[in-house]
Structure 1
Amino acid sequence: MRPIPYGRQNITEADIQAVVETLQSDFLTQGPKVEEFEQKFAQYIGSKYAVAVTNGTAALHLCALVLGVNEQSNVITTPITFAASANCVRYCGGTIWFADIDPATGLLDIDKVKALLESKPKNFFSGIIPVDFAGMPVNLEAFRALANAYNLWLLEDACHAPGGYFVDSKGVKQNCGNGDFADLAIFSFHPVKHIATGEGGMITTNNQDFYKKLLLLRTHGITKNPELLHQNPGGWYYEMQDLGYNYRIPDILTSLGISQLSNAAADLVQRHHIAQRYDQAFKNLKNVTILNPEAYQEKNTDGHAYHLYIIQVPDRKGLYDYLRQHQIFTQVHYIPVHTMPYYQGLGWQTGDFPLAEKYYEHCLSLPMYPTLTAQEQQHVIDKILEFIDRT
């Protein structure tokens, strides 16, 4: 049996042909495929606007800029996330504050966030960055109500959750990144994500002013739009109106994204089938704990996007090594951000967030990708059960 990674891209012949057609076209970058991808992704998510960029980290950085993060900003996020969720605030000179997780879901615990808000003066904090960790949607309706009470912005890190959703208090399905509650949301198109472009990211929003600002900052702060120019001596003319960045994504990658997007719904169904098989295999094992969607949203368990399938076991290192011996390459998501040397240099330390740290000690991400076969998955399950029986 071939080696089994925790994640793998699925590149079809149609994907390859889409890229070849772009390579044979007049535009490799700054062409029509970028806008086409943005429009189709916004339609898929349900947002008014979408802005494609080089990667998810660039997306976070631009969002922090348009939200006005600066040296006076204090922003809350979860320690169980990729470092970029916090780093984007530091890029702009702001200060990151962490709040602990709900151990049943791995998500940022809104009660812990509320306690943190209450511990500081009313206008101390600027915003919150909740993360749809592993593909499980954050209840943004509840976070929006909390943010409104403290005059905060919300930036949804939805890198794990394209196609995911939660059901709000009115019974309405709220897609991750649709902009109904968060001011901005971001996605990643890294190869192990739902939609792969190699590298790439997307920002979604319903705020037109944010949208226009993002377009400007994405390309050096430069515009050629005649409606925005201070003067217009000729067709060659452009203006740098802000200090922006080269965060443009090329047409080569967005043509792949368009093709990948056409399979996103079917791939999400397959992720659910894989998750259900894992659930059945592990649900009655006392030494295996799964992150439980029902603990988060009893009305609906279908909205999980299942970027990751995570279990927790007493001997994580032992299981990790045992599976590697059998060519099963699992992963750990994530090392708590506040324990990283950089953030410890800013004053955070081990012991600050015991629930996140306990989760980290036991968590393991199992293979989860649409082309994982039933035979391969059963092999993974069998080896896990073998290890549990031995210990």
Structure 2
Amino acid sequence: MIPYGRHSISDEDIEAVVAVLRSDFITQGPVLPRFEKVIARHVGAAHCVAVNSATSALHISLLSLGVGPGDLVWTSPITFVATSNAALYCGAEVDFVDICPDSFNMDMKALAEKLEMAKTEKRLPKVIIPVHLTGRSADMKALDVLRKIYGFKVVEDASHAIGADYDNQPVGSCAYSDLCVFSFHPVKIITTGEGGAITTNDHALGRKLAALRSHGITRDPDEMERNEGPWYYEQQRLGFNYRMTEIQAALGLSQISRLGRFVAHRSELAKRYDQLLADSDFVRPLLDTDDNLSSWHLYVIRLPEGSGTLARRHLFEKLRSDGIGVNVHYIPVTRQPYYRKLGFVPDCFPVAENFYERAISIPLYHDMTESQQDTVVQCLLGPAGYQTIF
């Protein structure tokens, strides 16, 4: 089986983890702060807070911005459910903005229209979460213009996008946002097994995030209401046990040293796919531009317009049966039974629906060979594998 995505683990990664296992700390030790500093330095942000998953990162990001009951959070319908679930965890309401047909990211024109209507209805969102789908940044400059007009906060869901660049800056620099969230799940660009991180340039938010990931507790005397001695700590808010272990941080610290190589090879494979599929009927994803360099977490092709869901299903099953581990990213959140019970109607997001009906993610990962890529393309372009008898 050629998987759609796969982690790449080196001997150096294994040695880094073993070193932690032999050390005095396997959690809450010195490796995690080093990992956080390396991430912050890499993306050009002032602060980084690492946690046990990107879902946890999204949750406490919203909490740090004061999201709660009565608030609205908007995001894209084409994302994993964790993005919108995080708002619900805070007791807020969630809504969605349709996507662009070419980038698969939030449509800023549709957002501007929705914001103008929401202003009239006095129901503006407190936070907007753009999703950098497949590793390509959303149009953050256009979002920033709207942020300055309407006053909402921005949390980037960059779960796919560590190693990407936007406007000649690394994604995660928070040049156009308050917070940025990364994922280190095994199929992502780098991995910590499970894990996530948040970057920000706001010192106060960084302190809140650090407390929220560890039960809402502080040990900083300058933040305490009282100090009874060197053993003393205070819980000042309701937090969670969202800490990342030293084992995870050691793996991440080793992996991030190869981030540039990971992204470069993924980009080469994406360009090669584009060339190999140039004469096919498949609609290929946008390639990089000078001011928007994807990390290429995913390579998503689409069947031609009007192909129908049966054609996509048949191709999906054919590829799986041929040992090609394709997937679909993502089922629109608004299709999920839980969200339909909340009143969402998928037809209200026609571009997202059209994308879903036609999209297939084909294999792309660092250790993929050109020979494996050729096999994927041959299966895509080969005969359908069935006969109709008249």
Q: 1:135 corresponds to which residue? A: 135
1:304 pairs with one of 289, 294, 317: 294
Moved segments of 4+, more than 6 Å: 388-391
Secondary structure of the residue that 1:155 maps to in structure 2?
strand
1:29 & 1:337 partners in 2: Cα distance? 35
2:359 & 2:190 partners in 1: Cα distance? 25
Residues 1-391 of structure 1: pairs in structure 2 closer than 5 A: 3-121=1-119, 123-125=122-124, 126-167=126-167, 173-285=168-280, 287-293=281-287, 299-300=290-291, 303-313=293-303, 314=307, 315-387=311-383
Residues 105 and 293, structure 1, Cα contact 8 Å, conserved in 2: no
Residues 130 and 155, structure 1, Cα contact 8 Å, conserved in 2: yes
Q: Which amino acid aligns with 1:55?
A: S
Q: Which amino acid aligns with 1:112?
A: A
1:32 & 1:175 partners in 2: Cα distance? 26
Q: Which amino acid aligns with 2:77?
A: P
Aligned residues: 379
Q: Which amino acid aligns with 2:285?
A: L
Identity of aligned residues (%): 40
Taking a change above 3 Å as real, the CA distance of residues 293 and 373 of structure 1, as seen in their structure-2 partners, is: closer
Residues 74 and 129, structure 2, Cα contact 8 Å, conserved in 1: yes
Residues 100 and 109, structure 1, Cα contact 8 Å, conserved in 2: yes
1:129 Cα deviation after fit: 0.5
Q: Deviations over 1:263-302 (max 9, x none)?
A: 11011100011101100011232x20012246xx5x446x
1:390 Cα deviation after fit: 8.1
1:387 Cα deviation after fit: 4.0
Q: Report the more deviating stretch, 194-203 or 224-233.
A: 224-233
Q: Report the more deviating stretch, 136-145 or 31-40.
A: 136-145
Q: Report the more deviating stretch, 343-352 or 252-261.
A: 343-352
Q: 1:170 corresponds to which residue? A: none
Secondary structure of the residue that 1:215 maps to in structure 2?
helix
1:214 & 1:133 partners in 2: Cα distance? 24
Q: Which amino acid aligns with 1:308?
A: L
1:367 Cα deviation after fit: 0.5
Taking a change above 3 Å as real, the CA distance of residues 60 and 284 of structure 1, as seen in their structure-2 partners, is: same
Q: Which amino acid aligns with 1:19?
A: V
Residues 136 and 293, structure 1, Cα contact 8 Å, conserved in 2: no
1:70 Cα deviation after fit: 1.2
Secondary structure of the residue that 1:368 maps to in structure 2?
coil
1:124 Cα deviation after fit: 2.1
Q: Which amino acid aligns with 1:289?
A: V
Instruction: Return 5+ residue gaps in structure 1 as ranges.
Output: 168-172
Taking a change above 3 Å as real, the CA distance of residues 76 and 21 of structure 1, as seen in their structure-2 partners, is: same
1:46 & 1:194 partners in 2: Cα distance? 18
Secondary structure of the residue that 1:333 maps to in structure 2?
coil
1:366 Cα deviation after fit: 0.6
Give RMSD over aligned pairs: 1.5
Q: Which amino acid aligns with 2:282?
A: V
Secondary structure of the residue that 2:301 maps to in structure 1?
strand
1:310 & 1:324 partners in 2: Cα distance? 16
1:310 & 1:21 partners in 2: Cα distance? 38
1:387 & 1:175 partners in 2: Cα distance? 42
1:194 & 1:142 partners in 2: Cα distance? 26
| TM-score normalised by L of structure 1 | 0.94
Q: Deviations over 1:150-192 (max 9, x none)?
A: 011111000101111122xxxxx12211111110000000000
Residues 318 and 385, structure 2, Cα contact 8 Å, conserved in 1: no
Q: Deviations over 1:231-251 (max 9, x none)?
A: 222221111111110010100
Q: Which amino acid aligns with 1:147?
A: R
Residues 106 and 291, structure 1, Cα contact 8 Å, conserved in 2: no
Secondary structure of the residue that 1:25 maps to in structure 2?
coil
| TM-score normalised by L of structure 2 | 0.94
1:216 Cα deviation after fit: 0.8
Q: Which amino acid aligns with 2:296?
A: Y
Instruction: Return 5+ residue gaps in structure 2 as ranges.
Output: none
1:304 Cα deviation after fit: 1.0
1:127 & 1:214 partners in 2: Cα distance? 16
Q: Which amino acid aligns with 1:367?
A: P
